[in-house]
Amino acid sequence: MELGYDLKNIESGWGICPLPPVASDNLIALGRSNDAILYGSTVLYNLCDDDLSLASLVKQIPSSSYREYGRLFLEVYNGNFYELDPFMFSPAEIWFCNSKSGRSFHAGVLRPDLLSNSFEL
């Protein structure tokens, strides 16, 4: 939606994300849960669209396209959610399966190293 994509083209989807360990306080819990999305989640969408649009779009979605990529949530968060880049809440990796052509498109990567750093805070 943030990229102007017509969500009516999405037929179905699913996602997975690791559950972070229990934290000692709410701020650390907030950081861990957001890092789980940024660096540990996978999302798959079944869509009906043209391949060129999907090939271009898929590259813009994963957290690796975010300007603060590689930094933990608590390193970026300044206490105000309204000042955060909306792309900060993107999944680590994304898959598109085009029911129109049968082709699949992938972008992003899981980062267990960053998750480990976050979950040890």
- Residue 86: predicted pLDDT: 78
Q: Are 38 and 73 in contact (CB under 8 A)?
A: yes
State residue 66's pLDDT score: 87
State residue 67's pLDDT score: 87
Residue 40 has pLDDT above 80, yes or no: yes
The answer, yes or no, to whether residue 121 has pLDDT greater than 80, is no
Instruction: Judge whether 93 and 42 are in contact, CB under 8 Å.
Output: yes
C-beta atoms surrounding 4 within 10 Å: 6
pLDDT in tens, 60-106: 999 999 888 999 999 999 888 888 887 788 999 999 999 999 999 99
From CA 19, how far away is CA 40, in angstroms rounded? 9
Q: Which residues contact 44 (CB under 8 A, 6 or more apart)?
A: 13, 14, 15, 94, 95, 96, 97
Rounded to whole angstroms, what are the CA distances from 7 to 10, 15, 93, 98, 119?
6, 16, 19, 14, 33
pLDDT at 8: 96
Measured distance CA(37)–CA(85) in Å, rounded: 15
pLDDT score, position 83: 83
* Architecture of the structural domain at 7-119: 2-Layer Sandwich (3.30)
- Rounded to an integer, the average pLDDT of 22-29 is 94
More confident: 82 or 22? 22
Work out the mean pLDDT of the chain and round it to a whole number. 94
Token pair of 108 as six digits: 């992003």
Amino acid at 26: N
**Domain residue spans of the chain:** 7-119
